């Protein structure tokens, strides 16, 4: 299914569970993934809620416009999909890039947020982020996205998960290399300049923060910063997990979401 944003971009989406269920959840995937990223968690939560998963612009089946992307733009895209569905207020969850979008949504569309789940993410990647993200983006375009797979695999999942869940790893590899280079590049640049720190103090809804113990893409210190600056938030450090905890430990992530939907 598709919804059209305020600037004419088609956003692909899927709903798990009964769309008319009183409890509603929207989940945002990580960089260069698509809506299938959240399927294990969404299927679990669908017993209790309507669960919306979308392809962010530039990803999956959604349109992939040229030009600059911003987390505010991605947040507004989610708001437009919710308008299309007639959903007034939701629990919003995101992982990595999706967590940045979730924060932007909570800041820009405060009245629409019932609660938040922030997985393996940050409000700001640091002073060197514009340079490091541009280098990664440039390499993906120059050498092809497949050239980044070894780097990605080691960041995405723990060694134990990589060794025992080849089906999940291969699916992520397939989705990753299918990205349009220009859209991947724009999304990387977006994350390099994203900074939601000033808006954290205004977030005042039940919030669950989860970070993999071994996550070195958005390390534990970044999650601790979110926890310190979001009122009433709860922080969980997932033992043995790395950067894509919704895929590595979906049952634990679903349980955290179920606490706040």
d(CA 186, CA 205): 31
- Yes or no: say if 96 and 244 are a contact pair by the CB < 8 Å rule: yes
The predicted structure's pLDDT at residue 164: 97
What is the rounded average pLDDT of the residues 10-28?
Answer: 98
What is the rounded average pLDDT of the residues 184-211?
Answer: 98
Instruction: Give the pLDDT band (50/70/90) at residue 2.
Output: very high
Structural domain includes residue 155: no
The predicted structure's pLDDT at residue 259: 98
Q: How many domains does the chain have?
A: 1
What is the rounded average pLDDT of the residues 21-38?
Answer: 98
The token duo for 205 is: 């809804």
The predicted structure's pLDDT at residue 75: 98
The token duo for 47 is: 């017993």
The predicted structure's pLDDT at residue 95: 98
Q: What is the pTM of this model?
A: 0.98
Q: CATH number of the domain at 8, please.
A: 3.40.50.1820
The predicted structure's pLDDT at residue 146: 97
Instruction: Give the pLDDT band (50/70/90) at residue 237.
Output: very high
Per residue in 140-197, pLDDT tens?
999 999 999 999 999 999 999 999 999 999 999 999 999 999 999 999 999 999 999 9
Structural domain includes residue 158: no
The predicted structure's pLDDT at residue 197: 98
Question: Which run of H or E residues covers position 93?
Answer: strand 90-95
Instruction: Give the pLDDT band (50/70/90) at residue 30.
Output: very high
- Yes or no: say if 157 and 131 are a contact pair by the CB < 8 Å rule: no
- Yes or no: say if 180 and 205 are a contact pair by the CB < 8 Å rule: no
d(CA 249, CA 151): 21
Closest CA to 116 of 35, 227, 208, 24: 208
CA 110 to chain centre: 18
The predicted structure's pLDDT at residue 215: 98
Instruction: Give the pLDDT band (50/70/90) at residue 227.
Output: very high
Instruction: Give the pLDDT band (50/70/90) at residue 82.
Output: very high
Structural domain includes residue 175: no
Structural domain includes residue 15: yes
Structural domain includes residue 82: yes
Closest CA to 260 of 181, 207, 198, 192: 207
List Cβ neighbours of 40 (8 Å cut-off, separation of 6 or more). 246, 247, 250, 254
Structural domain includes residue 230: yes
Q: Provide the percentage of residues in the chain whose pLDDT is more than 90.
A: 100
- Yes or no: say if 52 and 25 are a contact pair by the CB < 8 Å rule: yes
What is the rounded average pLDDT of the residues 190-215?
Answer: 98
Domain that holds residue 203: 2-124+195-258
Structural domain includes residue 179: no
Structural domain includes residue 132: no
């Amino acid at each position: 299914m598709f919804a059209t944003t305020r600037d004419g971009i088609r956003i692909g989406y899927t709903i798990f569970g009964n769309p008319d269920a009183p409890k509603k959840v929207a989940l945002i995937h990580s960089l260069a993934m698509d809506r299938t990223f959240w399927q294990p968690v969404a299927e679990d939560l669908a017993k209790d809620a309507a669960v919306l998963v979308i392809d962010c612009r530039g990803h999956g089946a959604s349109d992939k416009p040229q030009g600059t992307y911003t987390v505010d733009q991605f947040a507004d895209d989610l708001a437009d999909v919710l308008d299309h569905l007639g959903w007034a207020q939701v629990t919003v969850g995101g992982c990595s890039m999706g967590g940045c979008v979730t924060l932007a949504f909570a800041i820009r569309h405060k009245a629409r947020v019932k609660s938040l789940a922030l997985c393996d993410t940050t409000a700001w990647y640091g002073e060197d982020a514009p340079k490091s993200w541009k280098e990664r983006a440039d390499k993906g375009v120059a050498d092809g996205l497949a050239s980044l797979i070894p780097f990605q695999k080691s960041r995405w999942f723990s060694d134990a998960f990589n060794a025992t869940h080849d089906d999940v790893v291969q699916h992520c590899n397939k989705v990753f290399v299918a990205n349009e280079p220009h859209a991947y590049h724009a999304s990387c640049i977006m994350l390099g300049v994203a900074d939601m720190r000033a808006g954290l103090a205004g977030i005042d809804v039940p919030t669950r923060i989860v970070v993999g113990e071994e996550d070195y893409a958005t390390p534990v210190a970044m999650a601790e910063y979110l926890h310190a600056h979001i009122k009433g938030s709860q922080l969980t450090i997932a033992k043995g997990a790395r950067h894509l905890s919704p895929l590595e430990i979906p049952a634990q992530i679903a349980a955290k979401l179920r606490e706040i939907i």
